[in-house]
Amino acid sequence: MSGWRERLAAQRYDAIVVGSGPNGLAAALTLAEAGRAVLVLEAAKTAGGGLRSEERTLPGFVHDVCSAIHPMAAGSPFFVGRDLPGLEWIHPPLALAHPLDDGSAVALAASVEATAEGLGADGRAWTRLVGALARDWPTLAPELLGPLRVPSLAMARFGLRALRPARALAESWFRGEPARALFAGIAAHAVLPLDGAASAAAGLVLGALGHVTGWPLARGGSQRIADALLARLSSLGAEILTGARVASLAELPPARDVLLDVTPRQLLALGGERLPASYRRTLARFRYGPAAFKIDYALSGPIPWRAEACRRAGTVHVGGTLDAIAQSEADVWRGVLPARPYMIVAQQSLFDATRAPAGRHTAWVYCHVPAASTADRTEAMERELERHAPGFCDLVLARAVLSPADLEAHNPNYVGGAIGGGVSDLAQIVARPRLSWSPYATPIPGMFLCSSSTPPGAGGHGMCGWQAAQAALGRG
């Protein structure tokens, strides 16, 4: 043993958390608030996991390396009502805009009424489908963001819709292309084929959250969310050690509980033979799915979108019609590179002057690619951006690309470049990573999994960590 291992060998903690993503930090904070002596061990130099922000292109340009837009955190029972000095949510005038080929755009606004108005004849259907879910959110949130349980009536009603394929749901509720495209673009965040069961879930949840919490970004960068949680942890006496990659459970100092913000593949490597064979087989079967290919841009001006609504939105979905987005996602699942990739664009600097020097701007753009793909998607992505924002390429001062391999090097939880902690299809929503009323517990007493590979899955909500900590405290 050497370095931190040697130094900590003589210490004893109530709880050790391995990994400091939003879930690791939420777990650590929940335990520290319960009076436990907590140690957080993080492999990277900077804590925060998927919440880190860095100057990736040019000096003065702050880029969110991973997560950028935070409906899941702003609507999370873990964050709501929590006093976190230094964390300020910024709400762009529009949560989301979705440009169409004719130069128009459809938008997700804070109010159900404004969104419905923009959808014309489909406005009523949006209100009945997504608006109703937004109204039910306070009742549904604990069930949606927690582990499997016997559903309430509201949850059962939601489930009947959420379990459908996104395409079928959109086609049965909406008659016009704009509403169908809007719904498809939101659903496609889940990285699922839009003809697959349960692919409607993300469309419903993220659509409703647009009306409940908005789709905010953190002033100064997503790193500020991590920094606020870290400051609170330190004030409670928790120890946070960065640059501490744990290679085996045997390296950890003694502790009553160990919570692991890692995915099943890493848990297998950490636990080895200590884990029973049947659990090892379950972990080995866990599927990660397609990857992301991301580009951060330093720009000399704002993105010159043809559609005016796109200039007022924090997030823009570039992908066209429901059919086009479904095709793009189906291609990725077949191992093919889509000719016209569906892309998620965030333009933080339009609403947060701290992100770029005066008059300059940032853009955060990613598309989906087959798992571990080595293809460079820059040209295909910029072709699509240029179609909807002529002159975009002339504004590029610098770009920094993150391929699937780069993403995994940045964070070992992004296995093969997959960013959601594992596929969130029906099978892995129910069994995440295994079918259990307490999927956080592992067969080793006092050892818990707390990453997005547990319910409720991907996002900066911290709820996987909060639930795992509840289990460790004997309340789960």
What is the binding site for ligand FAD (CB under 6 A)? 18-24, 41-44, 49-50, 66-70, 72, 245-246, 261-262, 266, 292, 294, 366, 407, 411-414, 419, 421, 451-452, 458-460, 464
Q: Which is nearer to ligand FAD, 74 or 307 (CB)?
A: 74
Smallest distance from the beta carbon of 221 to ligand FAD, in angstroms? 12
CB count within 10 Å of CB 46 equals 17
Q: Which is nearer to ligand FAD, 37 or 268 (CB)?
A: 268
Smallest distance from the beta carbon of 120 to ligand FAD, in angstroms? 29
Q: Which is nearer to ligand FAD, 77 or 412 (CB)?
A: 412
Smallest distance from the beta carbon of 391 to ligand FAD, in angstroms? 25
Q: Which is nearer to ligand FAD, 131 or 460 (CB)?
A: 460
CA distance 205 to 373: 29
How does strand 313-318 pair with strand 94-99? parallel
Please answer whether residues 68 and 348 qualify as being in contact, where contact means their C-beta atoms are separated by less than 8 angstroms. yes
Smallest distance from the beta carbon of 460 to ligand FAD, in angstroms? 4
Smallest distance from the beta carbon of 261 to ligand FAD, in angstroms? 5
Q: Which is nearer to ligand FAD, 42 or 425 (CB)?
A: 42
CB count within 10 Å of CB 252 equals 18
Smallest distance from the beta carbon of 442 to ligand FAD, in angstroms? 15
Q: Which is nearer to ligand FAD, 29 or 292 (CB)?
A: 292
Smallest distance from the beta carbon of 172 to ligand FAD, in angstroms? 28
